[in-house]
Amino acid sequence: MPNKIDLPYTRYLAPDGRLSGDLPAWADDFNLLTRLYRQMVLTRLFDQKAVALQRTGRIGTYAPTLGQEAIGVAIGCLMHPEDVLIPYYRDTAVQLMRGVKMEEILLYWGGDERGSAYVDPAVREDFPLCVPIATQALHACGVASAFKIRGEHRVAVTTCGDGATSKGDFLEALNVAGAWQLPVVFVVNNNQWAISVPRRIQCGAPTLAQKAIGAGFHGEQVDGNDILAVYDRMRIALERARHGKGPVLLECISYRLGDHTTADDATRYRPAEEVKQAWQEEPIKRLQTFLASQGVWDEGREQALVAECQAEVQASVDVFEAAGIQPVESVFEHVYAQWPAVLADQREMLLERAARRGGERHE
């Protein structure tokens, strides 16, 4: 094949949790590994709670991150606070790791803009979740351009799914990132499914990572269910970008264990056998098995961790449920820096409507 492109593929932990090859030096730090493990468990418990809240009508549609915890936790853990995350809509894992609060994520999916107002100073420049596919990749290039213009050693990190790599926006973003050697890292969560369309008919290229080659920069694949692999390669990608050595595309190969969103039913289009197989390779059990094999994890620690995480999740649900609804006036507050005086009558119209409806719930 004259056009074959060989790209690196990294995996340290096999699906059964056994080590394949030597560990990188940083992975000797078991405190770090148990911290990553804890965050993956917390993410999954929160994710399950969010789905349960949707099923009981307490939040709206939610996009579960089930199965992709390793990718998000690793990149969120490695980014510096001054870096900027430009996420897509399946990014609960990375957002929690960055410092977005669980109650903010619930507010967002629960129909309240305050969920994207992020109070933690560490994430005050991060973008909110992006719903229109791949459009965020361009924002990342704009953010990275600003870093470059100002001579700052910061990195813009943007995420997307495998389907997003088919869009012109994604390819235009890769193109400009390569042309200008921007400090940006593109993380593709290749979870094999874009709603009902499988990876094999999404794109004719053997890898998604090789799209970077056409744009003139480095791309590679990692096992996205092996947090050691994602962490190791993301660490190097961030370092490259931070030191002016150009962008990186990291294709993290994983599997969307849940439905596309709570409004989707994946049993309509994919075989149960495939999902069952994918559960054998999921990231949390894999790291747990490894940690246990190293003697730093056991059933007792697991039970204590789950109880602790469940309490943390429940506390966030309590905060979310106590938040109340924004005042009616708030819908005008941030459309413009100041609501234009020439549109005052429209504001009056809505306030009157609200007053007329009185005690009715505005939802």
144 is a contact residue toward other proteins (CB under 8 A): yes
> Which of 139, 235, 301, 347 forms a contact with other proteins (CB under 8 A)?
139
Which position has the token pair 């992020």?
A: 118
132 is a contact residue toward other proteins (CB under 8 A): yes
> Which of 117, 263, 349, 350 forms a contact with other proteins (CB under 8 A)?
117
Which position has the token pair 């005008």?
A: 332
347 is a contact residue toward other proteins (CB under 8 A): no
Q: Least distance in Å: CB of 84 to other proteins? A: 8
> Which of 42, 156, 248, 257 forms a contact with other proteins (CB under 8 A)?
156
Name beta bridge partners: 13. 19
Task: Give the three-class secondary structure for 56.
Answer: coil
Q: Least distance in Å: CB of 168 to other proteins? A: 6
350 is a contact residue toward other proteins (CB under 8 A): no
143 is a contact residue toward other proteins (CB under 8 A): yes
Q: Least distance in Å: CB of 146 to other proteins? A: 4
Which position has the token pair 């932990």?
A: 13
Nearest to 69 by CA among 50, 96, 88, 34: 96
| Measured distance CA(46)–CA(37) in Å, rounded | 14
> Which residue type does 286 have?
R
Q: In 66-213, where do the E strands start and end?
A: 84-86, 156-161, 184-190, 193-194, 197-198
Q: Which residues contact 51 (CB under 8 A, 6 or more apart)?
A: 62, 64, 258, 262
Q: In this structure, is the dihedral angle defined by the CA atoms of residues 322, 325, 329 and 331, taken in order, positive or negative?
A: positive
Stretch that binds other proteins, among 71-79, 189-197, 272-280, 332-340 (CB under 8 A): 332-340
Q: Which residues are part of the catalytic machinery?
A: 256, 260, 269
Do 317 and 73 meet the contact criterion of CB atoms below 8 Å apart?
no
Nearest to 249 by CA among 162, 167, 154: 162
325 is a contact residue toward other proteins (CB under 8 A): no
Neighbours of 331 (CB within 10 A): 16
> Which of 74, 105, 173, 250 forms a contact with other proteins (CB under 8 A)?
173
x-or-dash string of contact with other proteins, 97-116, rule CB under 8 A: ----------------xx-x
Q: Least distance in Å: CB of 241 to other proteins? A: 15
Q: Least distance in Å: CB of 135 to other proteins? A: 6
Task: Give the three-class secondary structure for 193.
Answer: strand
58 is a contact residue toward other proteins (CB under 8 A): no
Q: Least distance in Å: CB of 333 to other proteins? A: 7
Do 304 and 341 meet the contact criterion of CB atoms below 8 Å apart?
no
304 vs 344, beta carbon nearer other proteins: 344
118 is a contact residue toward other proteins (CB under 8 A): yes
Q: Are strands 197-198 and 193-194 parallel, antiparallel or unpaired?
A: antiparallel
Binding site for other proteins (CB under 8 A): 84, 86, 113-114, 116-118, 124-125, 127-128, 131-132, 135, 137-147, 149, 156, 168-169, 172-173, 175-176, 179, 333-337, 340-343
